[in-house]
Amino acid sequence: MNLHPTTDMERPQQVATGNKETDTIPLWRCDSTLFLLLFVVLLSSGCGSKVFRHNGAVNMAGGFNMTGDMTVDGKMDMGELKTTVSLSPNSRVTPLTSVVVSGQATRNGKLAVLDVDDFLVDRNVGGIGSMGENPVALFHEKIDAIRNDKDVKAVVLRINSPGGGVTASDMMCHELARLKQDRQLPIIANIMTVGTGGAYYLANHCDAIIAHPTSIVGGIGVILNLYNLQDTMGQFNVLSMPIKSGEKIDAGTPERPIEADELVMLQRIADGFHQRLIDQIKSKRPKLAESQDQWSDGRVMSGSDAQSMGLVDGVGYIDTAIEWAKQQAGLKPDDRVVMYRRENDPAYTPLDVSPNQPVFSSLIPLRVPGLDRSTMPTFLYLWQSDPAMATLARP
């Protein structure tokens, strides 16, 4: 940037007109006239209905005003900053494609890495910095891609999630069970930073589980987040006046204390969901029945302790899981490892995480627990060490 008092734009340009008062015309005024003329030419040539492309440098000095809609969808390169911008309301703008992340591209056999990250909920997770995918729908789409790709001989389910909604987790487990039934592929789960609640439920549907030694595993429990904001609302003279038919239709509302019989009703549901999870784990790992009270109360443990308990089958890393899966499928060590990605997904290695968690889930970061109850999942298979976890599924 030139910080001298006089710039080339400010130096006068001599124009021979014969009039000394008008012979000096600022260069910026000439540039503005040329810019306006160019704009008129573009309009007259129909640029509103054609693609306008400019290759090269574009320099603009001063303010830039635009009225109307602007759509940016594609790759944007600004010097050292390279990013992909999509303002489309449909996150599925491109189909999933098989991307080779390791191995020899000329090999026929494939091992697919199926990645499951963040909060598991059956709704689109939109927001700034998020691809806006529905985790359950995306998991279903990836399962279908693996099912239809006959070159895939084994799967590694790479998990980094604290869990999520009871129903969302159950739906994903159902999809994984269908894949095993249809293709009979060896599927090895690899728990990375965390695999608890519904995420562990999903891992337990695999043939074996490998956890990092520092993974957090467990969280076998159910939680329903309820709040009583009656006194808080009263401090602001906010009174609830619901019109309802059915005495228990608002059980669990934050607008009033929960009644004793309502608490019994909801506790019965939570206990049923909890027992369903426990039974599934014991059906896959019968030896755990003897030590049920040591792992079924929602506690978490390290990957090494989970191996000693019998919740996982080994301690290692994702390359360990890939090696195990290749051996079970009869694949060679240098056979292809693939992942299924959209064109606008920047994750292209087995360790990459697709940006599907909003940086800011709203423009106003302040949250009052309980006020967003209607946007949250209800019962959760979730290790919830952070209360803010309950609001991650906001649409």
Q: How many domains in the chain? A: 1
pLDDT at 341: 85
DSSP state of 91: S
Q: Is 193 helix (H, G, I), strand (E, B) or coil?
A: strand
Q: Structural domain of residue 324, as residue ranges? A: 97-391
In a domain, 116, yes or no: yes
Both tokens of 115, joined, read: 């990645």
Cβ pair 374, 250 in contact under 8 A: no
In a domain, 7, yes or no: no
Listed as own residue / partner, the contacts of 100-106 with beta carbons closer than 8 Å and 24 or more positions apart are 100/336, 100/337, 100/338, 101/337, 101/338, 101/339, 101/348, 101/349, 101/350, 102/336, 102/337, 102/350, 103/334, 103/335, 103/336, 103/337, 104/334, 104/335, 104/336, 105/336
Tens of pLDDT along 167-220? 999 999 999 999 999 999 999 999 999 999 999 999 999 999 999 999 999 999
CATH code at 324?
3.90.226.10
Looking up tokens 């600022």 gives: 26
In a domain, 74, yes or no: no
In a domain, 53, yes or no: no
Cβ pair 131, 344 in contact under 8 A: yes
pLDDT at 74: 53
In a domain, 57, yes or no: no
Cα–Cα distance measured from residue 242 to residue 255, given in angstroms and rounded to the nearest whole number: 10
pLDDT at 24: 47
In a domain, 358, yes or no: yes
Cβ pair 169, 188 in contact under 8 A: no
pLDDT at 393: 44
In a domain, 25, yes or no: no
pLDDT at 15: 44
- Mean pLDDT per block of 10 residues along the chain (395 residues) reads 45 46 46 58 50 52 56 52 44 75 83 92 63 82 94 95 94 96 95 95 97 96 88 85 90 88 95 97 95 95 96 95 95 92 72 58 48 64 68 44
In a domain, 239, yes or no: yes
